[in-house]
Copies of this chain bind each other. A is one copy, B any other.
């Protein structure tokens, strides 16, 4: 169960104190060995290239090149890249998502206790697991809807116009919408006309398309 060769770790963080602390924690474990350190992203890339560690603990915030970019570069240029664990201070950091995209094997908070840190390193070193804090659940459940900026017209619609557009997007005719909203067909026509004007579209089909692409629908 004890492995012959220890897990080789590189630390990348611009603060010396952090590196020292991490080294102290990891060195206490017989199966872990800190083989190198880096204070910038650029340095991290070259150090990793030279030392070929099994795991890298990578701070997100670093001079010159940040941890995310350094991660991308390492994974893109090395044949058998190390597992990279991205480390940050704040949980709600948007870096969580960036780290995922960059190909990081894990994401750790600096406030994680020593125990969790050590186990995280061991885990990523030899399994294909990813390791992320609770924040990713938010991203996943909110469907990570990276809204590309909702078009201006959305705010300009009145309440009734919104309702009408919703129904249009269900494929209903004006008459059907009128029945559902318990108003006259002429009223619906007015609202539809207003929607077309504000969305800059010429017919209901284009308006529905605009609604879809604006992410205007509730539970799309």
Please tell me how many copies of the chain the complex holds. 2
A212 CB contacts on chain B under 8 angstroms:
209, 212
For residue A185, CB closer than 8 A to chain B, the reply is no
Q: Which of B130, B173, B206 contacts A134, CB < 8 Å?
A: B130
The reply to whether A129 and B140 form a contact with Cβ atoms under 8 Å apart is no
Q: Which residues of chain A have a CB within 8 Å of any CB of chain B?
A: 1, 97, 100-101, 103, 108, 112-113, 115-116, 119-120, 122-123, 126-134, 136-137, 139-141, 143-144, 146, 168-171, 173, 201-206, 208-209, 212
A137 CB contacts on chain B under 8 angstroms:
100, 103, 130
The reply to whether B130 and A126 form a contact with Cβ atoms under 8 Å apart is no
Q: Which of B116, B122, B127, B209 contacts A171, CB < 8 Å?
A: B209
The reply to whether B129 and A205 form a contact with Cβ atoms under 8 Å apart is no
The reply to whether A128 and B134 form a contact with Cβ atoms under 8 Å apart is yes
The reply to whether A131 and B133 form a contact with Cβ atoms under 8 Å apart is no
The reply to whether B144 and A140 form a contact with Cβ atoms under 8 Å apart is yes
Name the CB-closest residue of B to A168: B205
Name the CB-closest residue of B to A96: B140
A103 CB contacts on chain B under 8 angstroms:
137
Q: Which of B112, B126, B141, B206 contacts A127, CB < 8 Å?
A: B112
A100 CB contacts on chain B under 8 angstroms:
136-137, 140-141
